């Protein structure tokens, strides 16, 4: 068996790169809902697309969101301490791409209509569900911060087909029945 060198000529960790690639290939098979996570407050308004969102507990109602510390929106979320998880419906793929990076913040928000629930974080008109939250704890893990959140208010939109991210693409999910 040929051993792979731990570092290439440029000093980069090739073993680590292979592990990351393998991890991502595996994660590409783990289907996930698509959300736009927003915030507003003293540090300003920001939002990003997130598939790393998960239910934690129903008492108290709580969820978690994983945010890369290198994202342009990171400092704004950390400073505001509130966020709203907006779960997207089939047909909102363009919004998911817009909030998926590299687009100026005003352009991202100009593409949709927003209101607010309790915290002042933007709630997306036409979302399947909106979870208005206060960030209660932040745990650093690898490249990401895990933001644990208490859900203060839930908005339920129309019952529409859902949107998932699977195999590096968006897919619609039909309502059963
Ligand atoms: N959890 C995250 O931070 C995610 C970030 N992305 C961003 O979008 C880009 C394109 O993603 P794909 O087209 O799906 O191809 P990809 O091969 O980069 O990612 C495949 C899967 O790996 C996971 N993933 C990707 N980057 C990650 C990261 N930095 N930390 C933890 N998990 C990660 C996600 O589940 C993603 O669907 C990624 O390179 C990343 O920048 C996408 C999905 C999740
Ligand atoms: C489908 C999809 C899912 C994503 N999920 C996450 C996620 O869960 N956590 C995260 O930190 N970034 C995620 N990203 C990347 C962020 O949306 C992106 O880095 C963010 O918009 C910040 O980009 P910016 O630094 O250019 O502003 C995802 C991107 C896409 C397209």
Is residue 153's pLDDT more than 80? yes
pLDDT category at 176 given cuts 50, 70, 90 is confident
109 within some domain: yes
Mean pLDDT of 95-103: 95
111 within some domain: yes
Q: Across 59-161, where does the E strand assignment appear?
A: 61-68, 82-87, 114-116, 122-124, 129-141, 144-156
* ipTM of predicted complex: 0.98
Nearest-angstrom CA–CA distance, 131 and 63: 9
Mean pLDDT of 61-82: 98
Nearest-angstrom CA–CA distance, 59 and 91: 32
pLDDT category at 15 given cuts 50, 70, 90 is confident
95 within some domain: yes
How many whole angstroms from 10 Cα to the centroid of ligand 2? 28
173 within some domain: no
94 within some domain: yes
3-state DSSP assignment of residue 50: strand
CA separation (Å) from 44 to 75, 89, 96, 120? 10, 26, 20, 11
For residue 23 the two structure tokens come to 């991890």
Where helices occur in 62-123 by DSSP H, the ranges are: 74-80, 93-98, 105-110
172 within some domain: no
> Are 105 and 47 in contact, with CB atoms under 8 Å apart?
yes
- The domain total for the chain is 1
3 within some domain: no
125 lies in which domain range? 14-164
Range of 6-10, 15-19, 72-76 with top mean pLDDT:
72-76
Mutational pocket test of ligand 1: of 22, 28, 171, the residue with most ligand atoms within 8 Å of the beta carbon? 28
CATH of the domain at 96: 2.30.110.10
142 within some domain: yes
Per-residue pLDDT tens digits for 129-143: 999 999 999 999 999
With pLDDT > 90 as the criterion, what percentage of the chain qualifies?
A: 88
How many whole angstroms from 118 Cα to the centroid of ligand 1? 31
């Amino acid at each position: 068996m040929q051993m792979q060198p731990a570092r290439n000529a440029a000093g980069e960790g090739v073993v680590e790169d292979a592990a990351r690639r393998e991890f991502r290939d595996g994660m590409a098979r783990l289907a996930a809902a698509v959300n736009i996570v927003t915030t507003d407050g003293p540090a300003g308004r920001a939002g990003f697309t997130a598939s790393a969102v998960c239910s934690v507990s129903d008492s108290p109602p709580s969820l978690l969101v994983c945010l890369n510390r290198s994202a342009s929106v990171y400092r704004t979320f950390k400073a505001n301490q509130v966020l709203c998880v907006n779960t997207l419906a089939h047909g909102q793929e363009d919004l998911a791409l817009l909030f998926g990076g590299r687009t100026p913040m005003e352009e991202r928000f100009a593409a949709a209509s927003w209101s607010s629930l309790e915290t002042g974080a933007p709630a997306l008109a036409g979302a399947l569900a909106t979870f208005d939250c206060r960030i209660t704890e932040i745990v650093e893990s690898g490249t990401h911060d895990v933001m644990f959140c208490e859900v203060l208010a839930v908005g339920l939109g129309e019952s529409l087909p859902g949107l998932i991210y699977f195999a590096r693409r968006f897919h619609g999910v039909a309502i059963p029945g």
